[in-house]
Amino acid sequence: MSIWEKMLNVDRRWIFLLIGIACVVPFFTPLGLPILPSQEVISIYDYIEDLSTDNAMFVGFDFDPGTAAENMPMGVAVLRHAFARNVPVFITAYTPLGQGMAGMAIDELTNPATGDYFEYVNWDAWAEIRDQGFTERADIEEAWLAAGNTLPENARGWIFEGRDIAFLGYLPYFHLVILGMSSSIVSQFPTDVGGTPLEEMPMYQDHKSLRDIDLAVTTAGSSACVAWITYGREKIGLPIAFGVTAVMATDYYIYIQSGQIIGQMGGLRGAAEYETLLLDNDYCKNPGKAYIGMDVQNIAHLLIIFLVVLGNIAFFAGGFNKKTKLKGRR
């Protein structure tokens, strides 16, 4: 048997083993292959970069665990950017499981074990500061420091519940919820998921409806994008940005071309591009999960391409193409 025949008849289990190694190794030793952010992702980043503590955002975790590998890094990256800029964020979910996804994202960003996190201050912990009449973000932090609190070494900053974040969660028929929030957020969400009255939150006092919101980002694996466009963008002119799975991305490019959305993160690549922008601008110390995931995807794709090319070389160099033709003539 010639070397070409051996190559074409290699046990497929060896190929599976190579693919397995290619997928596992980059998780432990990231290669850091370059990722160049696209304009549609840069547009979202730049828009949030221009926001401040006087503005406010909605971030929708509008996906289920089935698309979490692509959508979760998008949501985490956008929240990280907003928290670092002290932009108040209302967090919602299009599905019941989406609320759980949002909770996981918040836990990831506030977990000291990550070594690059935000120190979460719950609603009751800073009650005395509110009682003193402090509601502005800078005044709250100054009073918090004056009370003897210090920021842990690896923490990026504080997140004050009710001033920096309102975790509203899920409600059914969410397209109608968006419609209702165009008049009043509290009419749809009287309390957050923990039972804290929304009306008491300083961030709500400045942003009582979607008309007072400066950007809504939906990270979606469903039709939530259309709901936000129909009832948010088209009804009240709310600026919208998308974070969608790779298979959905092409369906929504028309909204970029029409100017109806700010930009779009498409699939794992889009999430990795946003993480690259955060890393390059010192909003995080280490690459995110999507960035590492792209190493895995790139190496696996390169290996598959190499094997396909090698197989074709063996097929033609061994003369099997001629044998196939002869068999066809018979």
pLDDT in tens, 84-127: 999 999 999 999 999 999 999 999 999 998 888 999 999 999 99
Residue 200 and residue 58 share a domain:
yes
Do residues 217 and 308 both lie within one domain? Answer: no
Check whether residue 165 and residue 56 sit in a common domain. Answer: yes
**How far, in Å, CA of 197 to CA of 98, rounded?**
22
Which of 271, 286, 301 is a domain's end point? 286
Answer yes or no: do 168 and 104 share one domain.
yes
Q: Are residues 3 and 149 in the same domain?
A: no
Do residues 115 and 182 share a domain? yes
Judgement on whether residues 28 and 46 belong to the same structural domain of the protein: no
Please tell me whether residues 184 and 130 are part of one structural domain. yes
Round to whole Å and give the CA distance between 113 and 252: 37
Are residues 100 and 176 located together in one domain of the fold?
A: yes
* Residue 246 pLDDT exceeds 50: yes
Q: What is the mean pLDDT of residues 216-224?
A: 90
Contact (Cβ atoms closer than 8 angstroms) between residue 89 and residue 163: no
* Same-domain status, 207 and 84: yes
Instruction: Determine the pLDDT at residue 326.
Output: 45
273-311 pLDDT, tens digit per residue, is 999 999 999 999 888 888 888 878 888 888 889 888 888
Q: Which domain holds residue 20?
A: 1-32+293-330
pLDDT the model gives residue 26: 77
Number of domains making up the chain: 2
β-strand partners of 74:
none
pLDDT > 80? residue 172 = yes
Domain endpoint, select from 286, 303, 319:
286
What CATH number did the domain enclosing 260 receive?
3.40.50
pLDDT computed for residue 287 by the predictor: 81
* 150/231 same-domain check: yes
Q: Are residues 78 and 150 in the same domain?
A: yes
